[in-house]
Chains A and B, each alone.
Chain A
């Protein structure tokens, strides 16, 4: 356990993080990281001008999902950058943040890297005026893709239609979002098992209003901006699926028992 290796400064920023929150009318937003690696950092900036007329960071806020050093580095960089000119703030490096915290354990240096990246992304965002994220609405607009292993495991854990829900009791189920019918099925399946995952290309909760509300209250786990690209197994049984996250542009595996892709 690496806990004892943190400096007092790191622990101080972790316990009392500075500038936590969002800026509603932010001029720039930087979102970096990846929950798969366990770190996600959002930095919001408000830009103003100093006496010399140079652009400076008037206000800065952050939100972080991550380990102790991820929280501390975000907090620290907000303190460092506040009041700085945009040019100077853009130059803050991961080493600068780590130094300011009296050092970080070597294995944690990737976390502090993120804080500097997030700030740079926020400044880029302000300068180019681009939206921080690409909006993707529903799966229907996407071209149909081939799912590897689909035919091989059909009837062996992969279902294109579903009648008897009892057979799914206590199974880990992943359902591809092919429209409201598939989402209603996902909701119904939560009465049979605690593990229902919907994979959707949408960026926020999919479905028409009533379904969306129900999904938000339910235990259905939703994988946004993702698609199913491969089904894997052994001895004629589905064992796992490969998910492509097109926001992060990467693939990962997930252990499941049942894959449902309604026709």
Chain B
């Protein structure tokens, strides 16, 4: 069996969630829009599920939750729908340089449609500059969209301060919470988000389902138009098995998040301490203010995809910010925005832990990685000859 250290890419569905979903594919197949018994039962389950999602983020009412097909759709609905809703008030939107690709591309789309998009720069750890955020806001600004954390480098953003600045300037604050959902509790009554993106798979629910939280009084224009489901903001017959699974996943996560976060943090700290023993290795992202399940490294002189392939041969499955592993052949925009050079960004190793990670997984990669890095450095023309002599000596 391979060791899986790429929980940010995909998570397995928790067996407890899967059991809960099963009847909704077969016996309980009703459509909530129908008025007969099947429809009535479906409506009841739909609203119970909505209540569980509301409880997960401590939303005051289940009415604040709209189901979507996942985080990408929620981001589209929040930002495009929010921009269209407010276009008479203004045309300026602020995002950060290190947002998820779905948000960066929404920004490009809105620019083509005549909106103005500012991209807030980040420091070497990937934290946004609050002072600059405040100065970017003008009387045309309608929306700020900054994630709770980076899913790639794990750096947490100062969301309470961002929300405060947004509120003071009467600008909506949208946040993609995907990177923190599985390890940092969310309370929308403590941090006044206007819009919040949630994903089901991020908390061990099925894929193809997600949600958007909208604060009471916040409405967006629909981008999918049809029969008026989800208060007209997201039409289309509800994905009942998905919704039921998402709700169960949220219920489990709410009950277990603190214990799980503490456990993952311990494993992550062991991982970081172990891997940074390798010479010329560095941690990407913030040393303390980071999600408990994320560790991102870089190693001088080697390239990420080679690292990924070599680890695959050791039965350890990981991710990289290397361009060679992306569809666009561009290195990670997040690492570049943190100030890394292209060749440094190419050498990143992204390890993400999850519910089913164990200490022996961490021990395994700490054991095999030094040798893998050494072999690739011997092969690399970028390795300085003095350093090469040194590592060759250590290896034999």
Enumerate chain A interface residues (CB-CB to B < 8 A): 1-3, 11, 14-15, 17, 20, 31, 35-38, 40-42, 63-68, 70-71, 107-108, 170-172, 193-195, 197, 216, 221, 223, 234-235, 237, 239-240, 252, 254-257
In the bound complex, do residue A172 and residue B124 qualify as a contact, i.e. CB atoms below 8 Å apart? yes
In the bound complex, do residue A257 and residue B123 qualify as a contact, i.e. CB atoms below 8 Å apart? yes
What chain A residues lie within 8 Å of B327 (beta carbons)? 107
In the bound complex, do residue A255 and residue B336 qualify as a contact, i.e. CB atoms below 8 Å apart? yes
Bound CA span A66–B301, Å: 10
- B107-135 contact mask (Cβ, 8 Å, vs A): 1 or 0: 00000000000000111100000001001
Distance to closest chain A CB from B304 (angstroms): 8
Bound CA span A96–B306, Å: 23
In the bound complex, do residue B121 and residue A255 qualify as a contact, i.e. CB atoms below 8 Å apart? yes
Subset of 5 A-B contacts with CB under 8 Å? A2-B324, A31-B381, A38-B343, A67-B322, A252-B342
Bound CA span A162–B109, Å: 43
In the bound complex, do residue A3 and residue B312 qualify as a contact, i.e. CB atoms below 8 Å apart? yes
In the bound complex, do residue A17 and residue B381 qualify as a contact, i.e. CB atoms below 8 Å apart? no
What chain A residues lie within 8 Å of B135 (beta carbons)? 235
In the bound complex, do residue A68 and residue B306 qualify as a contact, i.e. CB atoms below 8 Å apart? yes
What chain B residues lie within 8 Å of A195 (beta carbons)? 124, 339
Closest chain A residue, CB of each to CB of B287: A194
What chain A residues lie within 8 Å of B282 (beta carbons)? 194
- B132-145 contact mask (Cβ, 8 Å, vs A): 1 or 0: 10011000000000
Segment 337-385 of B: residues with Cβ below 8 Å from A: 337-339, 341-344, 346, 378-382, 384
Whether, in the assembled complex, B329 has its beta carbon less than 8 Å from a beta carbon of chain A, the answer is: yes
Q: Which of A11, A64, A172, A216 contacts B386 (CB 8 A)?
A: A216
Bound CA span A235–B138, Å: 13
Distance to closest chain A CB from B96 (angstroms): 12
Which of A37, A171, A240, A254 has the most chain B CB atoms inside 10 A of its CB?
A37
User: Count of chain B residues with Cβ under 8 Å from any Cβ of A?
Assistant: 41
What chain A residues lie within 8 Å of B336 (beta carbons)? 255
In the bound complex, do residue A36 and residue B342 qualify as a contact, i.e. CB atoms below 8 Å apart? yes
Number of A-B residue pairs with CB-CB distance less than 8 Å in the complex they form? 109
What chain A residues lie within 8 Å of B225 (beta carbons)? none
Whether, in the assembled complex, B309 has its beta carbon less than 8 Å from a beta carbon of chain A, the answer is: yes
What chain A residues lie within 8 Å of B123 (beta carbons)? 170, 172, 257
In the bound complex, do residue B121 and residue A239 qualify as a contact, i.e. CB atoms below 8 Å apart? yes
In the bound complex, do residue B381 and residue A255 qualify as a contact, i.e. CB atoms below 8 Å apart? no
Whether, in the assembled complex, B302 has its beta carbon less than 8 Å from a beta carbon of chain A, the answer is: yes
Closest chain A residue, CB of each to CB of B283: A194
Bound CA span A234–B322, Å: 29
In the bound complex, do residue B124 and residue A68 qualify as a contact, i.e. CB atoms below 8 Å apart? no
Whether, in the assembled complex, B308 has its beta carbon less than 8 Å from a beta carbon of chain A, the answer is: yes
Closest chain A residue, CB of each to CB of B328: A107
Closest chain B residue, CB of each to CB of A238: B121
In the bound complex, do residue B303 and residue A1 qualify as a contact, i.e. CB atoms below 8 Å apart? no
In the bound complex, do residue A38 and residue B346 qualify as a contact, i.e. CB atoms below 8 Å apart? yes
What chain A residues lie within 8 Å of B136 (beta carbons)? 235
What chain B residues lie within 8 Å of A67 (beta carbons)? 303, 305-306, 322, 324-325
Closest chain A residue, CB of each to CB of B313: A15
What chain A residues lie within 8 Å of B222 (beta carbons)? none
The 4 A-B residue pairs whose C-beta atoms are closest, nearest first, are A67-B324, A35-B343, A63-B381, A67-B305
What chain A residues lie within 8 Å of B378 (beta carbons)? 20
The SS class assigned to the A binding surface is mixed
What chain A residues lie within 8 Å of B308 (beta carbons)? 3
Which of B97, B306, B336, B382 has the most chain A CB atoms inside 10 A of its CB?
B306
Whether, in the assembled complex, B323 has its beta carbon less than 8 Å from a beta carbon of chain A, the answer is: yes
In the bound complex, do residue B380 and residue A38 qualify as a contact, i.e. CB atoms below 8 Å apart? no
Whether, in the assembled complex, B331 has its beta carbon less than 8 Å from a beta carbon of chain A, the answer is: yes
- Given the known A-B contacts A71-B379, A172-B124, A239-B121, are A38 and B323 also in contact in the complex, defined by CB atoms under 8 Å? yes
In the bound complex, do residue A3 and residue B303 qualify as a contact, i.e. CB atoms below 8 Å apart? no
Closest chain A residue, CB of each to CB of B312: A3
Bound CA span A234–B133, Å: 11
Q: Which of B313, B325, B329 contacts A1 (CB 8 A)?
A: B325
Q: Which of A38, A170, A256 contacts B303 (CB 8 A)?
A: A38
Closest chain B residue, CB of each to CB of A253: B336
- B283-321 contact mask (Cβ, 8 Å, vs A): 1 or 0: 000000000000000000111011011001100000000
Q: Which of A71, A107, A255 contacts B338 (CB 8 A)?
A: A255
- Given the known A-B contacts A40-B381, A68-B306, A237-B132, are A170 and B324 also in contact in the complex, defined by CB atoms under 8 Å? no
What chain A residues lie within 8 Å of B324 (beta carbons)? 2, 38, 66-68, 70, 108
What chain A residues lie within 8 Å of B301 (beta carbons)? 65
Distance to closest chain A CB from B380 (angstroms): 5
Distance to closest chain A CB from B100 (angstroms): 18
Distance to closest chain B CB from A118 (angstroms): 11
- Given the known A-B contacts A2-B325, A63-B380, A235-B136, are A254 and B339 also in contact in the complex, defined by CB atoms under 8 Å? yes
In the bound complex, do residue B309 and residue A3 qualify as a contact, i.e. CB atoms below 8 Å apart? yes
What chain B residues lie within 8 Å of A1 (beta carbons)? 325
Closest chain A residue, CB of each to CB of B377: A65
What chain B residues lie within 8 Å of A240 (beta carbons)? 121
Closest chain B residue, CB of each to CB of A172: B339
Bound CA span A254–B344, Å: 12
In the bound complex, do residue B379 and residue A38 qualify as a contact, i.e. CB atoms below 8 Å apart? no
Q: Which of A38, A65, A216, A257 contacts B384 (CB 8 A)?
A: A216
Closest chain A residue, CB of each to CB of B118: A234
In the bound complex, do residue B343 and residue A64 qualify as a contact, i.e. CB atoms below 8 Å apart? no
What chain A residues lie within 8 Å of B343 (beta carbons)? 35-36, 38, 65
Q: Which of A35, A36, A256 contacts B382 (CB 8 A)?
A: A35
Closest chain A residue, CB of each to CB of B6: A1
What chain B residues lie within 8 Å of A14 (beta carbons)? 306, 309
Q: Which of A15, A68, A257 contacts B305 (CB 8 A)?
A: A68
